[in-house]
Chain A
Amino acid sequence: MECEAFRRLLPAYGDNELGVESALEVERHLQGCAGCRTILEHQRAFSAAIGRLYPRAPLPPGMEDRLSAAWRSAPGRRPWVGLLALAASAVLVLTGLWSLVRPNAPTTPPGVLAATEIHRHASRQEVSLAIHSSDVAAVNTWLAAALPFPLNQPVQKTNDMALQGAATVDLAGERAGYVQYRRDGQVVSLFLLPPREWPPHAGKKMRFRGIDFHLFTIDGVNAIAWNHAPLSYVLVSGLGAHGGQACAACHSSTTDSALLGFAGDGNI
């Protein structure tokens, strides 16, 4: 009878969509119920298989060109709009150049840009891990020995993501730790940096449990940067909710209701 009630919650739990109280109840039940654990594993495996195996069709040849043409001839678009667009582009270029030289400009910090670029390579399996391990302690030990700045067990045990291993990377000219996870078949990248102050107006800022998180979306990749002594972090993924679903790297589960409030709102 008890299992019956919990099994109704398992799909939302497995999708990391359950509130914190319900999730904790489910976790307590799962600890003592092998049957429900098995169901949860199968649910997750099934969903992951669908996502991995569903065939994505390529765009028909010339579709982008036809779309651009449709945009150009869209109602309300006037011939002078092209000139305006050109002028706007010039303004954007100048604005971009100005933002590079203006002090305290609200641009994306170089470390975040570099992290998203490395993440893209990692997603194409172009980043070699120096240690391949799903063991949290082993990865923390390796990072402590490999990095020239103090760490405090930066890799946490997580139920929602599979730890792959770690490496060191050059992040915009400085050595940083790189920890790789997988979730739902996607690579999630966590970068560990010496402490620094992120520009106060960089990205969309969210304050959560006393920490300022800076959220960026760069060409479809979500990055979250924050400081938490003794390190600064950049978390990069293609996961949803502005990358908030990747927060499972530092939380035992993204079923935390407060975390859902952080990650689940598409209009942060």
Chain B
Amino acid sequence: MAVGAHRKAQRAPFEAEALLHLPALYNFALALAGPNDAEDLVQATCVRALERFDSYQPGTNIRAWLFTILRNEWVSRHRRVQRGTVLEVTGEEDAVARLHDEAADLEALLIDRRWSEEIKAALLAMPEANRMPVYLKDVEGFGYREIAEIVGCPLGTVMSRLARGRATLRAALRQQARERGLLPLQTDESHGV
């Protein structure tokens, strides 16, 4: 009884703390589900989080916990899409090959906000399995273990998908740069290494 009252007393601060992460959750939902479903997904996530509040340990990483719930909510809504997406993932060999695509030209260009929409478009165009580790690591700053928890896959899979995702993103942005005349058309993908 006392424990139940204690949990209830913790609920108000839990709600307040969850609200702090609302912008990040909303942007994660945008990256997962797009603008039409993002708010609904966040709202369902927050209601689910409240229902599961008893499993939340105060002082632990509420941000990763909320992201995990959102991701699970998304998967449960779109299992069929999810399976299709996973099939698009390329092989490990491809990831290793792309890992070496590290030409020096692109980073020097990525210095101002003119690239923001290109980065977003290129990231959102990637298969979800590769997109999510890149988003969670480079945009949200989660560690590998947290990403593994959120996306529900082993640590090694996170690492290979992250490598693939970054390589894909880099190639897409380099292509954009070529089309805008910022890089020479004949730039060789392998010239960096």
Q: Which residue numbers of A lie inside 8 Å of B, CB to CB? A: 7-8, 11-12, 15, 17, 35, 38-39, 42-43, 45-47, 49-51, 53-60, 63-64, 66-67, 70-71, 74-76, 84-85, 88-89, 91-92, 184, 186, 204, 217, 219-220, 238-242, 245, 264-268
Contacts and interface: CB of A to CB of B under 8 A. Distances in A.
Given A39-B102, A53-B113, A85 B22 contact: no
B50 A74 contact: yes
A58 to B, nearest CB: 7
B8 interface: yes
A89 B12 contact: yes
A49 B170 CA distance: 11
B146 interface: yes
A63 B46 contact: no
Contacts of B103: 42
B110 interface: yes
B138 interface: yes
Nearest to B170: A46
B57 A11 contact: no
A13 to B, nearest CB: 11
B116 interface: yes
B153 interface: no
A84 B9 CA distance: 8
A71 B39 contact: no
B85 interface: no
Contact of A46 (B60, B63, B107, B145): B107
A136 B8 CA distance: 49
Contacts of B50: 71, 74
Interface residues of B, number: 65
A189 B144 CA distance: 24
Contact of A67 (B30, B46, B63): B46
Most chain B CB neighbours (cut-off 10 Å) among A35, A39, A67: A67
Main secondary structure on B side of the interface with A: helix
Contacts of A217: 59
Contacts of B46: 67, 70-71
A50 B119 contact: yes
A180 B150 CA distance: 31
B166 interface: yes
Interface in B1-49: 8-9, 11-13, 15, 19-23, 26-27, 30, 39, 42-43, 46-47
B134 interface: yes
A88 B12 CA distance: 8
A130 to B, nearest CB: 29
A163 to B, nearest CB: 20
Contact of B139 (A46, A50, A63): A50
Nearest to A66: B43
Given A50-B134, A88-B12, A267-B57, A63 B39 contact: yes
Nearest to A71: B50
B117 interface: yes
A11 B166 contact: yes
Most chain B CB neighbours (cut-off 10 Å) among A7, A8, A71, A76: A71
Contacts of A184: 141
B159 interface: yes
4 closest A-B pairs by beta carbon, nearest first, are A49-B110, A266-B61, A45-B107, A50-B138
A120 to B, nearest CB: 13
A7 B23 contact: no
Interface string B85-115: 0000000000010011011101100111101
B60 to A, nearest CB: 5
A54 B120 contact: yes
